[in-house]
Structure 1
Amino acid sequence: MAISEAEAIIMDVLWHSAPRTAEDILAEVGPAQQWQEGTVKSLLNRLLKKKAVKAERDGRRYLYTPLLSREKYVSQESKGLLDRLFDGRVAPLVAHFSEQRKLSKKDIAELRKLLEELGDE
């Protein structure tokens, strides 16, 4: 399931707190994104069609809840990034980031720990 950047902003709100109304979402992200109510509702409709969210009637409004988990989304996105840019390999990705951005001592320690854990398997 392909989620656009704008749709991901809506999903982020729902992953942090759901169910939410379109008005709740607009209040949270509208000012920063310069979005109007119609934009939020259009994005929610796209997410409904993709079955990334569900809507339940609550009086005269709808409450939106994510069906796509954040973990599954992150997994799909990271796999897509690896496949598109690094032939599905993690080492070139890490090398790229180490060249483009200085890795902190904490980052390096976490990578070492991960490698040690992977080496034990």
Structure 2
Amino acid sequence: MAVVSISDAEWQVMNVIWDRQPLAAQDVVAALDGYAEWAPATIKTMLHRLVRKEVLTYEPQGNRYVYRSRVKRSDCVKQASRSFLERVFDGQSSSLVAHFLRNTKLSPEEIAKLRTILDEQEAQ
């Protein structure tokens, strides 16, 4: 299944689902209470939209619907990362990394992790 693009608001809903699934709609609403200023109907609309996009699936349980993810978070992250890289950095990974490094204060541990990743890339 191809991963589809999801909006910023849908990411918030999906993060709740990925972290706690399976979840009933009212559980998603409760999890987002105080985090987003959305009415329960808005959250339920997003759940239905994510079902139509085939990102979520649901099953009826009595008088409620229980939702679970049809796609992995990592697949959506890859898709969003590729889209961002293409839109903002014309597909140039090195430009993205250079921008990030110039504009972010990194700890020595983070720098060491990045060096390890670069060394692994170079070895391949």
- Scaled by the length of structure 1, the TM-score of the pair is 0.95
Identical amino acids, percent of aligned pairs? 38
Matches within 5 A, 1:11-22: 11-22=14-25
Q: C-alpha deviations, 1:9-43, integer Å up to 9, x for none?
A: 11001100111011101111122202221011000
Q: Distance in 1 between matches of 2:82 and 2:65?
A: 33
- Return the alpha-carbon distance in structure 2 between the equivalents of residues 82 and 105 of structure 1: 26
Q: After the TM superposition, which segments of 4 or more aligned residues of structure 1 sit over 4 Å from their partners?
A: none
Q: May I ask how many residue pairs the two structures share in their alignment? A: 121
Which one has the bigger helix percentage? 1
What is the root-mean-square deviation in Å for CA atoms of aligned residues?
1.0
* More RCO (CA 8 Å, sep 6+): 2
- Counterpart CA distance in 2 for 1:34 and 1:20 is 20
Q: Give 1:93's aligned residue.
A: 96
> Please, which runs of 5 or more residues in structure 1 have no aligned partner?
none
Query: Match of 1:28?
Result: 31
Q: Report how far residue 103 of structure 1 moved.
A: 2.2
Counterparts of 1:46 and 1:72 in 2: how far apart (Å)? 19
State the AA in 2 paired with 1:29. Answer: L
5+ long unaligned stretches in structure 2:
none
Selected match of 2:51 from 48, 64, 67: 48
- TM-score using structure 2 length: 0.92
For the residue of structure 2 that corresponds to 1:31, the secondary structure is coil
Distance (whole Å) between structure 2 residues aligned to residue 98 and residue 118 of structure 1: 17
1:82 to partner: Cα distance:
1.0
